[in-house]
């Protein structure tokens, strides 16, 4: 996504499990990337499936007490989650102008497709990767 992008005609919405954190995306979103790193597996209980959007296109509509951010010791990443139901919602780097949104929290239909597996060298041993997807040993 670059500065020439336009606001999407399709507005995406989503929420956590209890509905305490709701959000709206009014801009172009990326197709889904599955992250198999150990940090995403711990945060989600499985691999993380994410879309991404420019931060300026995301509006979080929630009680500010419901959304919390965990700062990882491994990098400058923050992970957003609902403190009431525990839903994993967001992932962002402090140095980046995009935010990743957990795909499972999007309201349907999304119109998105899964395109890539990243950190496949770190994937867990209890599942198999989709042979149709692009695979990267590390991140993007």
What pLDDT does residue 6 have? 42
Find out whether 123 and 68 touch, Cβ atoms under 8 Å: no
Q: Shortest CA distance to 80 belongs to which of 72, 122, 19?
A: 72
> Is pLDDT of 2 > 90?
no
Taking residues 114-124, report their average pLDDT: 96
Its pTM stands at 0.89
Query: Which residues is 135 bridged to in the sheet?
Result: 117
CATH fold for domain 12-135: 2.170.150
Could you tell me if 26 and 11 are in contact, meaning their C-beta atoms sit under 8 angstroms apart?
A: yes
Q: How confident is the model at residue 5 (pLDDT cuts 50, 70, 90)?
A: very low
**pLDDT of 10 over the 50 cut:** yes
Say whether pLDDT at 100 is over 90: yes
| Cα 117 versus chain centre, distance | 13
Tens of pLDDT, residues 40-63: 999 999 999 999 999 999 999 877
Q: Please, which pLDDT band fits residue 9 given cuts at 50, 70 and 90?
A: low
């Amino acid at each position: 996504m670059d500065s020439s992008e336009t606001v999407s005609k399709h507005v995406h919405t989503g929420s956590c499990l209890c509905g305490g954190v709701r959000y709206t995306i009014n801009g172009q979103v990326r197709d889904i990337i599955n992250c198999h790193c150990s940090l995403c597996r711990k945060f989600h209980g499985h691999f993380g499936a994410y879309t991404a959007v420019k931060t300026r296109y995301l509006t979080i509509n929630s009680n500010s007490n419901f959304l919390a951010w965990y700062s990882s010791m491994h990098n400058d990443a923050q992970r957003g989650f609902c403190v009431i139901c525990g839903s994993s919602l967001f992932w962002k780097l402090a140095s980046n102008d995009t935010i990743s949104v957990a795909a499972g929290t999007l309201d349907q239909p999304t119109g998105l497709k899964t395109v890539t597996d990243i950190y496949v060298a770190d994937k867990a041993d209890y599942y198999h990767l989709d042979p149709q997807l692009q695979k990267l040993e590390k991140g993007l």
